[in-house]
Structure 1
Amino acid sequence: DKKGKTKKRKIKVFPEDPDFPRIIIESVEFVRNDYPSWPPALHRRIIHEGEDVSDPKAVENLLRRFLRRAWRRPVNGKEIKKWMAHYHKILQQGDSPILALKETLSATLASSNFLYLSEPFNSDKSRKLNAHELAARLSYFLWSSMPDEELFELADSGRLLEPSVLRKQFDRMLADSKADRFAEQFSMQWLDLEGVDRVAINPQYYKDFDNKLKPDMVGETQAFFREILRSNTSALQLIDAEFTMLNASLAKHYGLEGPKSQRFERVSLKGTDRPGGVLGHASTLLAGSDGADSHPIKRAVWIRERLLHDPPNPPPPDVPGVEKSVPNFEKLSIREQIAIHRKKEACADCHRGIDPWGIALEEYDAIGLFREKTARRKKRVSAKTVLPGSHEVSGLIDLQKHLLNGRRDQFSKALVSKLLTYSLGRSLDLDDELLIEKLGEDFAKNGYRLPSLMKNIVTSRPFLSR
């Protein structure tokens, strides 16, 4: 009742075959307005207070304003005329003005002008971006979203094309919290963190593992990249660092003292056995497994593709596996299995340049924890190996040292290339090589700091051109 009390009431039950019509109500649904004000804020952002959507002139102004934001540029009279005709066509079909407007706006969002960053061209020759194209490219690079009003106004005036204004806008946008989206999405794509969800952890070997930990594993790597970006410190820490980013769940998983909440916080690794850098993150180690045990070849290919920008050639077609030709193959240790692969002529050349990179991580299991024996076969692990170039390493720490001392320039070039690809939204070609070299030189001179590299990319010719 109105006082919130429950009372018993008598229910009338009709006869099985009443001699009068009846209606059976299966369910009743009530919809209430839960907004603090009506119309809600999102509605008012499209239809301003006092605008009459039954007035064609008001609809035209609304449409022009909406398309400017949706398409990230001013619209011309021809485009407005086309969509007003669409609006009137729906109106003539008997719909109300508000429904006709809703259908029209929905249709504009199915346009390629909304779905893609439109940069038209009439020839194979490169051209400079106009101010609105540059605003969109900059905004989707740093914010993964449309330009804000300040960026729109600078594009409208053309001032965004001035180098000093562009640099100032870069600084403003990078300082904004929306730039965290860049850190999350770039690290996700570059390091293939989606690989975590492609692996199903085998409960036979990891009975206590909770799949809810997977997002935390990915979150550590994303937060770690964001921290290096925000603190404006050396990106070489991506290879080896004295800290990581943990929440309560992941700290417990690693057996470390850490935050008491689920919010990621910076945690020092000094005095612990936990390695720093992305190679020691549970996200990358889990993605480089088969869910039951480590997978040295997957981990090796990941290192070469993501950290060294040197992906191995794909395996030759129609080469039969060795599993069926070797008795008790599944009972052999990983090293023994890999040794058999190397003896096979069709596999030997490639595997010599791949396998050692993954063997160096053998001391870490499928969920990123240190181990002395394999989960499946209980074989004692060994992370001693010889990398290409006859460089001996024994475990992850040695591998990190080798990457920093012997492969620093290669890692730097890999990061520059991946970041340039992400910013341009296209694959790189030979014409980009000189820029990659110049960006790499400046990256090193500036202490491998990401903001300086990103600003140099934003002011480079390829970023400013189509």
Structure 2
Amino acid sequence: MRLPFFRPIICLALLMVLVATPAIADSSSNKSASLFDADVARILANRCLQCHDSASAKGGVDLSRRAAAIESGALVPGKPADSQVWESVVNGEMPKGSDPIPKHEADAIKRWIDDGAAYTVDWIDPVVYGRGSDSSRRWVRRLTRAEYVATVKATLGVDLTDEAKELLPPDLRADGFSNTAYNLGVDMQHIDGYAKLAEIAVERTDISKFARRFEKKRLMIDKVMRPLIGKMGRVLLRGPLDEWEVDQYRGLTTTVASAGGNFDDAVAITIEAMLQSPRFLYRMERQHEKDGRAKLNDYEVASRLSYFIWGGPPDEQLLDAAEKGNLSNRKSIETEVRRMLKDPRATEQTRQFISEWINLSRLGNLQPDRDHYPDWNDELASDMRTETLRFAEEVLWADDRPLSDLFDAQFTYLTPTLAKHYGIKPTGEGLRRYDLEDVPSRGGLFTQGSVLTIGGDEASMVARGLFVLHDVLRGAVKDPPPCVDTTPVPTEPGRSNRSIAEARIKNEACGGCHKRFEPLAFGLEQFDGLGRHASRDRHGNTLREDGTVLFPGDAKATPFESTAELSQLLSESDRVRETLTWKFIQFALGRMPTGTEAPLVRDVHQRAWQSGGTYQDLVVALATSDLILTAQSETEE
């Protein structure tokens, strides 16, 4: 259906809305604890812990834990002048090699020590507290391209997958995910694309059938059109419309009538306008609060639940639950969530989470050196992606196992092509399950090509180690200084990837950082850049699989003798399990949790893993937490 003779020009104010949020104002009498939460933990994480945590402890000083800091003399509660920390700061000695700490931060440290140098956590986690400014702001979330497609399909039954890929720019990754709110901007390509997609969606919709869902009468009078607009808007815009909104859309329908259009024309132009409304394109929330966290209304909760569980809009049953006020009750919410988890869209959203976490889209861009990898083709890349997603689906849904079992489950799914690539004898055509109990080199995510290709052609221990550090252990390390040459050192006879890494670790200038992450890749040395296993590299150098894991917060690294033992260590580590919780929460919220939300994250983690640690347990724990049911207050970080 084309309506050029009366289609209005719908001007969209598609601008990202951000609200800076100042440090939390704590009414507690413990001023030192309040200062720690508001400022000092962040200052120490960003300025000090790179050299003065449990692992490095330069000069015998560990500032990540209060007891250790006091024992070393770095902190003398109530006495800044006797504290090494304050002495180093006031003399401009720390951070070494960096600009002096700004006066307002130095003043905060002095007041904090004066008031008792309290810590409100056992250990300062740099990833939680060492954040940039973007994490301390609130952003209105635009629908990602995938969410836009899912929303149109769910509400109108029209699949715009191909058209959206053509007309809308891709959503770019930030902080490890492509749905990070602050990165979901809107430009003229979006505005033009949304207009064209709305027109296409309307043309493919059976307008009469859609209208009959809400109203049987086909009259252009207020008594019919206003309720119809309200009912359509409730579905398309994911909540009830205000009277002024109904007025705006009713104005469009009267314009259609005056131009000679009929009932279907009026409904079509209303749908087209709604599809370009900020309420459709953004996940709007009307938050009204003064202190603490803002409570969301039931419709806002419904949208939060549906987009993180399904990747799409609420269905009629969820909207009805919101209308009845049932989504203000945690028990009722859990009932709805368990219903939603039975929907195939929940399984698909799991696949989306795994794909985002490991960045499986990267596989489509691999172009390995043909001289070294002549057999590489796009089919292998696709098979690696399929292997990981099918494997995850089996672990998390068919077997209903804990998320951490992803690291050491002894099976996988392979095509004949990928099986041959791995050196495994194919057992038949198509995608098949392969048990790996008798294949010691394989088992779990870390032995799959989708992960191993992160190292590139040279199976870089830097790239692989950083992946493990950031995305599995949730550790932190600073970027190298601009003057450092980061060109990869090539392997050669007598010099393997491991020996190159060990040389970097021994280097005084590099070792402080590289010892934190390169050993994490030692257990993967026997896998080349495309995930094939061998005991020697192409130069004849012997490859090993033993190494160590330094878990964030630990003073000493834990040794392992094999890739299988590394996988088991990761599977059994609570730090790794916490990472899975944090990563999923980040995926669900579209942003990293803030330092003030750390207790809420811990509560979700504990409840989920006490229940069994399955994907479903984590969804239920998050869905019934204040991270979903409330919003950041403007008085929070």
TM range (shorter): 0.7 to 0.9
In the TM superposition, residue 128 of structure 1 has moved relative to its aligned partner by: 1.5
Whether 1:162 and 2:329 are equivalent positions in the alignment is yes
Distance 1:336 1:266, change over 3 A: closer
Aligned to 1:463: 628
Q: Please say if residues 87 and 101 of structure 1, whose CA atoms lie closer than 8 Å, have aligned partners that are also in contact.
A: yes
Tell me the alpha carbon deviations over residues 349-376 of structure 1, each in whole angstroms, 9 at most, x when there is no partner: 101111111122011112212123335x
Aligned to 2:593: 428
Say which one has the larger Rg: 1
| Identity of matched residues, % | 25
CA RMSD of aligned residues (A): 3.0
> 5+ unaligned residues in a row in structure 1: which ranges?
1-38
In the TM superposition, residue 114 of structure 1 has moved relative to its aligned partner by: 0.8
Aligned length: 419
Aligned to 2:246: 80
Paired residue for 1:235, among 403, 422, 430? 403
In the TM superposition, residue 99 of structure 1 has moved relative to its aligned partner by: 4.9
Aligned to 2:544: 382
Q: How does 1:215-254 map to 2 (within 5 A)?
A: 215-230=382-397, 231-254=399-422
Paired residue for 1:396, among 527, 538, 563? 563
Distance 1:368 1:232, change over 3 A: same
In the TM superposition, residue 207 of structure 1 has moved relative to its aligned partner by: 1.7
Distance 1:304 1:283, change over 3 A: same
Q: For residue 243 of structure 2, what is the amino acid of its counterpart?
A: G
Aligned to 1:295: 460
Alpha-carbon distance between aligned partners in 2 of 1:274 and 1:173, rounded to the nearest angstrom:
38
Aligned to 2:275: 109
In the TM superposition, residue 45 of structure 1 has moved relative to its aligned partner by: 4.5
Q: For residue 163 of structure 1, what is the amino acid of its counterpart?
A: R
In the TM superposition, residue 160 of structure 1 has moved relative to its aligned partner by: 2.8
In the TM superposition, residue 464 of structure 1 has moved relative to its aligned partner by: 1.0
Distance 1:282 1:121, change over 3 A: same
In the TM superposition, residue 171 of structure 1 has moved relative to its aligned partner by: 1.1
Alpha-carbon distance between aligned partners in 1 of 2:485 and 2:373, rounded to the nearest angstrom:
32
In the TM superposition, residue 278 of structure 1 has moved relative to its aligned partner by: 0.9
Tell me the alpha carbon deviations over residues 87-131 of structure 1, each in whole angstroms, 9 at most, x when there is no partner: 434665676765554344222222221112211224463222211
Alpha-carbon distance between aligned partners in 2 of 1:88 and 1:378, rounded to the nearest angstrom:
79
Calculate the TM-score normalised by the size of structure 2: 0.60
Aligned to 1:450: 615
> 5+ unaligned residues in a row in structure 2: which ranges?
1-202, 551-555, 632-637
In the TM superposition, residue 64 of structure 1 has moved relative to its aligned partner by: 2.4
Distance 1:426 1:53, change over 3 A: farther
In the TM superposition, residue 300 of structure 1 has moved relative to its aligned partner by: 0.7
Aligned to 2:515: 352
Distance 1:43 1:247, change over 3 A: farther
In the TM superposition, residue 255 of structure 1 has moved relative to its aligned partner by: 4.2
Tell me the alpha carbon deviations over residues 264-286 of structure 1, each in whole angstroms, 9 at most, x when there is no partner: 55432222345221111111111
Whether 1:131 and 2:294 are equivalent positions in the alignment is no
Whether 1:67 and 2:233 are equivalent positions in the alignment is yes
Alpha-carbon distance between aligned partners in 1 of 2:427 and 2:235, rounded to the nearest angstrom:
41
In the TM superposition, residue 430 of structure 1 has moved relative to its aligned partner by: 1.9
Tell me the alpha carbon deviations over residues 389-446 of structure 1, each in whole angstroms, 9 at most, x when there is no partner: 24333441231233245xx111111111112222233321122222333333334433
Aligned to 1:140: 307
Alpha-carbon distance between aligned partners in 2 of 1:224 and 1:281, rounded to the nearest angstrom:
10
Q: Please say if residues 363 and 395 of structure 1, whose CA atoms lie closer than 8 Å, have aligned partners that are also in contact.
A: no
SS in 1 for 2:283: coil
Tell me the alpha carbon deviations over residues 333-356 of structure 1, each in whole angstroms, 9 at most, x when there is no partner: 323432443354432210111111
Q: For residue 438 of structure 2, what is the amino acid of its counterpart?
A: G
Tell me the alpha carbon deviations over residues 36-88 of structure 1, each in whole angstroms, 9 at most, x when there is no partner: xxx98754542338654766655444432321111110112210111221343
Alpha-carbon distance between aligned partners in 2 of 1:110 and 1:378, rounded to the nearest angstrom:
61
Q: Please say if residues 138 and 458 of structure 1, whose CA atoms lie closer than 8 Å, have aligned partners that are also in contact.
A: yes
Q: For residue 326 of structure 2, what is the amino acid of its counterpart?
A: R
SS in 2 for 1:245: strand
Aligned to 1:15: none
Q: How does 1:185-196 map to 2 (within 5 A)?
A: 185-196=352-363
Q: Please say if residues 139 and 146 of structure 1, whose CA atoms lie closer than 8 Å, have aligned partners that are also in contact.
A: yes
Alpha-carbon distance between aligned partners in 2 of 1:304 and 1:42, rounded to the nearest angstrom:
51
Q: How does 1:323-342 map to 2 (within 5 A)?
A: 332-342=495-505
SS in 2 for 1:66: helix
Q: Please say if residues 154 and 160 of structure 1, whose CA atoms lie closer than 8 Å, have aligned partners that are also in contact.
A: yes
Alpha-carbon distance between aligned partners in 2 of 1:357 and 1:132, rounded to the nearest angstrom:
45
Alpha-carbon distance between aligned partners in 1 of 2:210 and 2:561, rounded to the nearest angstrom:
62
In the TM superposition, residue 167 of structure 1 has moved relative to its aligned partner by: 1.2
Distance 1:260 1:118, change over 3 A: farther
